Amino acid sequence: MKIVDFLKKTPLKRFFERSPQVAVLPLYGVIAPGGNKLRGENLNLANLAEQIETAFKTKHLCAVALAINSPGGSPVQSSLIFDRIRQLADEKEIPVYAFAEDVMASGGYWLGLCADEIYINKNSVVGSIGVVSAGFGFPGLLEKVGVDRRLYSAGENKVKLDPFSPEKEDDILWLKKIQGDIHDNFKELVKTRRGERLKKRKDKELFSGDVWIGEKAVDLGLVDGIADLRSFCREKFGEKVRFNRVEGRQGFLAKKLGLEQQAIGTDAVEALIAAVRNQSVWGRFGL
């Protein structure tokens, strides 16, 4: 028996088969700049660029599947990730499919629009096509504790919405204008990517910032159907399809000591602030 024939009959035969491969790219978490490999990473282009490139370099690649579980976050990072995935998909002529888990909302839905088709669980939360900004104001607190706010700037528009100064109507209008422009960009992307699948729904309904689950999201045309990643790909590409999950590289200490969501020393305060911020974003979609 020839050595090649022998190897084909052993577990090593998978190296001689050209089974179709689906690269699975997990997009889990809040979309925000920055991140630290020791305590876990935000979703942003800097943290995802290598994984995205790796996904599209998979041998015998037949599709890239995005596993999405994100409540959104930065519109800039959402747009950058979207652009990079679409550039590679178009360049290599590889179809992209998105599969929502618990939440695919706001910037998370923006990421879903990378895909040629979007599928969800019947209980997935989808939508929130809007823009939100949140903060706090402390002028009353400063007055109460007897602290003077001293702020100096060159340029009449340099300081807006300072949390330690009284809120100004002009500043609010300025912020709303920026939000409106970003919202318009989001709406245009949805219309371009979903096209006729939106079934001529009214903008007021689709772009109100509301969320929907399961069949309602399908009915609105925001997604293409109810399906899970594994079953969908096996039905589309055959029982022999293989899945290559493209994970980010974890730092040595985090891997050995289980510190994915922890921080050491001076990073502790930053980690706490990030955790509170992320929890507040997730909390908008909690049940």
pLDDT digits (tens, 9 = 90+) for 27-41: 999 998 876 544 457
- The values of phi and psi at residue 31, to 5°, are -90, 115
List all residues 6 or more positions away from 15 whose beta carbon is below 8 Å from its beta carbon. 7
Whole-structure pTM value? 0.75
In the chain, where does the domain assigned CATH 3.90.226.10 lie? 11-128+210-283
The SS3 of residue 285 is coil
- The values of phi and psi at residue 286, to 5°, are -75, 150
Residue 66's pLDDT is what?
Answer: 97
Range name among 9-23, 102-116, 199-213 with the lowest pLDDT average: 9-23
Domain over 11-128+210-283 is classified CATH 3.90.226.10: yes
What gap in Å lies between CA 112 and CA 216, rounded to an integer? 17
- The values of phi and psi at residue 149, to 5°, are -90, 120
The SS3 of residue 129 is coil
> CA 120, 121, 127: angle at the middle one, nearest 5?
50
What gap in Å lies between CA 167 and CA 274, rounded to an integer? 25
Instruction: Report residue 165 as tokens.
Output: 């100064």
Residue at 258: amino acid letter: G
What gap in Å lies between CA 206 and CA 211, rounded to an integer? 9
Percentage of the chain lying above the pLDDT 70 cut: 62
Give residue-wise pLDDT tens across range 65-116. 999 999 888 899 999 999 999 999 999 999 999 999 999 998 999 999 999 9
Instruction: Report residue 185 as tokens.
Output: 């960009």
For residue 33, give Cα distances in angstroms to 93, 114, 129, 210, 286: 29, 19, 20, 25, 23
Give residue-wise pLDDT tens across range 137-173. 556 665 666 666 666 666 666 666 666 666 667 766 7
Other Cβ atoms closer than 10 A to 214:
16
List all residues 6 or more positions away from 143 whose beta carbon is below 8 Å from its beta carbon. none
Report the sign of the C-alpha dihedral through residues 73, 76, 77, 80, in that order: positive
Span 192-213, average pLDDT: 82
> CA 217, 29, 252: angle at the middle one, nearest 5?
150
Residue 174's pLDDT is what?
Answer: 66
Is the pLDDT confidence value at 212 over 60? Answer: yes
Span 225-231, average pLDDT: 95
